[in-house]
Amino acid sequence: MSNLCDLQFDRNHLWHPYTSTTNPLPCYGVVAAKDVYLELDNGAQLVDGMSSWWAAIHGYNHPKLNQAAHQQIESMSHVMFGGITHPAAIALGKKLIAMTPARFQHLFLADSGSVAVEVALKMALQYWQAKGESRCQFLTLRHGYHGDTFAAMSVTDPDNSMHKLYKGFLPEHLFANSPTSRFDGDWQPSDLDDFSAQLATHHSKIAAVILEPIVQGAGGMRIYHPEFLRGVRRLCDDYGILLIADEIATGFGRTGKLFACEHSGIEADILCLGKALTGGYITLSATLTTSDVAHTVSGGSAGCFMHGPTFMGNPLACAVACASLDILEKNEWQAQVQQIEHMFARHLPALLKSAHVADVRWLGAIGVVELKYPVNMAQIQQHFVEQGVWIRPFGKLIYLMPPYIISQAACLQLINAIASAIAEPRNLQLPQSELAQA
């Protein structure tokens, strides 16, 4: 079985996300996936706690998504989008416009979340150019994450990301303190002080505010108070600045609402979607905007919006996305996400008893255990695999975002695996003083 995955070749030649070629951590070979299970090349079945980075919300190998892909591939898997359209893109456009706030009337289909962010930023820049104003700055939040391409990186947290590495090349934007008021906690109005001060000083140069509504994902898994987002919307309105909501991680039910902005009852001017859009099958993203933004952009000197990826509107991806949205439209996700949230609420607080745990938090189908020390990645990964689960921590954060279809028993298996992992000192990078006691 294990020759299904030539791990030695992989180790010598294939780059994985954020990995070294000289000192790569071990990789696990996955040969199949079904429902909430990943099958390793040695036959082991792992409960998936990651949904392949927020994406596989309905689980793997879903009959409806498979059927949509098969059907589409029989007619055409791809055709250029320049001067040509096709039923799958039109059907997807209708669904996305119907399921998002009424103000979103125009959408751009691209290949990945990072590109959806690039597109959003370009829309904002072209919008102000068309209005005859030179506005080239973006205001965003610390601890944010918006992707790995250059413009997306430039609005990603400046301290815990790639800013230092690419200094001199990355454009420098404005960062406001991220909110500290917890989702369910008391609202501290001072959370908005830095944000509003930056707007007051720089508003005439700012094209747009970009942020992740309610949950800051890869920049720290922070879950913040809905009032902050209402304040941001109000301030953007006061200064006439566009608001870009990056719902690439939070979109399609993950936080318990279809879109995280709903927790605050606000609507953005530009909305970025990706990750779960195709139920985790194929890469696809969408950037939606209002007629005001779209038509203003089109009235500028270029006379159009200047972006056009080769695989724009890929029919295979659009067809699978339609099938994924059909599943969401049945509305079973709400009860499923609620059940996961109940599991987190019931079992995560007990983890605070560990001396190594700094905080636990959860919202919808997102559960976070923040440690006092970073994990020992190779060790803890091995521990999780031995426990029959797939959980991929980063730094001090162990987090869960399982497929919505997960059973209570499998969800408990994920939580128990975290509990047992943090009980073993070798899974964490403990300082010497703690090791002596352990």
Catalytic residues: 18, 145, 246, 275
State yes or no: 373 annotated in a binding site: no
Give min distance, CB of 248 to ligand PLP, in A: 4
Among 157, 191, 246, 267, binds ligand PLP (CB under 6 A): 246
Is 173 a binder of ligand PLP (CB under 6 A)? no
Of 337, 312, 354, which Cα lies nearest the Cα of 411? Answer: 337
Give min distance, CB of 300 to ligand PLP, in A: 26
Q: Residue 57 or 218: which CB sits closer to ligand PLP?
A: 218
Segment 51-80, which members bind ligand PLP (CB under 6 A)? none
Among 110, 153, 248, 375, binds ligand PLP (CB under 6 A): 248
Six token digits for residue 64: 């409806």
Stretch that binds ligand PLP, among 130-138, 144-152, 162-170, 353-361 (CB under 6 A): 144-152
Give min distance, CB of 247 to ligand PLP, in A: 7
Segment 176-205, which members bind ligand PLP (CB under 6 A)? none
Is 158 a binder of ligand PLP (CB under 6 A)? no
Among 59, 93, 113, 279, binds ligand PLP (CB under 6 A): 113
Q: Residue 6 or 148: which CB sits closer to ligand PLP?
A: 148
Stretch that binds ligand PLP, among 106-114, 166-174, 307-315, 323-331 (CB under 6 A): 106-114
Give min distance, CB of 149 to ligand PLP, in A: 7
Is 367 a binder of ligand PLP (CB under 6 A)? no
- 3-state SS record for the chain: CHHHCCHHHHHHHCCCCCCCCCCCCCCCCEEEEEECEEEECCCCEEEECCHHHHCCCCCECCHHHHHHHHHHHHHCCCCCCCCCCCHHHHHHHHHHHHHCCCCCCEEEEECCHHHHHHHHHHHHHHHHHHCCCCCCEEEEECCCCCCCCHHHHHCCCCCCCCCCCCCCCCCCCEEECCCCCECCCCCCHHHHHHHHHHHHHHHHHEEEEEECCCEECCCCCEEECHHHHHHHHHHHHHHCCEEEEECCCCCCCCCCCCCHHHHCCCCCCEEEECHHHHCCCCCCEEEEECHHHHHHHHCCCCCCCCCCCCCCCCHHHHHHHHHHHHHHHCCHHHHHHHHHHHHHHHHCHHHHHCCCEEEEEEECCEEEEEECCCECHHHHHHHHHHCCEECCCECCEEEECCCCCCCHHHHHHHHHHHHHHHCCHHHECCCHHHHHHC
Is 147 a binder of ligand PLP (CB under 6 A)? yes
Give min distance, CB of 416 to ligand PLP, in A: 27
State yes or no: 145 annotated in a binding site: yes
How far lies 243's CA from each of 105, 188, 208, 224, 259, in Å?
16, 22, 6, 18, 15
Q: Residue 217 or 393: which CB sits closer to ligand PLP?
A: 217
Q: Which residues pair with 176 in a beta bridge?
A: 141
Give min distance, CB of 394 to ligand PLP, in A: 13
**Beta strands 389-390 and 366-371, pairing class:** unpaired
Is 142 a binder of ligand PLP (CB under 6 A)? no
Cα distance between residue 407 and residue 33, in whole Å: 16
Among 145, 195, 281, 404, binds ligand PLP (CB under 6 A): 145
- Name the residue with tokens 């949950």: 215
Contact characters 200-219, ligand PLP, x per CB under 6 A? ------------x----xx-
Q: Taking the chain, what is the end-to-end CA distance rounded to the nearest angstrom?
A: 39
Q: Residue 149 or 407: which CB sits closer to ligand PLP?
A: 149
Q: Residue 48 or 111: which CB sits closer to ligand PLP?
A: 111
The number of residues that bind ligand PLP (CB under 6 A) is: 15
State yes or no: 53 annotated in a binding site: yes
Give min distance, CB of 163 to ligand PLP, in A: 16
Among 38, 40, 245, 249, binds ligand PLP (CB under 6 A): 249
Segment 259-278, which members bind ligand PLP (CB under 6 A)? 274-275
- Contact 364/340 with Cβ under 8 angstroms? yes
Is 220 a binder of ligand PLP (CB under 6 A)? no
Of 194, 196, 232, which Cα lies nearest the Cα of 212? Answer: 232
Binding residues for substrate: 53, 145, 275, 308, 392
Binding residues for pyridoxal 5'-phosphate: 113-114, 246, 309-310
Binding residues: 53, 113-114, 145, 246, 275, 308-310, 392
Q: Which residues bind ligand PLP (CB under 6 A)?
A: 112-114, 117, 145-147, 212, 217-218, 246, 248-249, 274-275
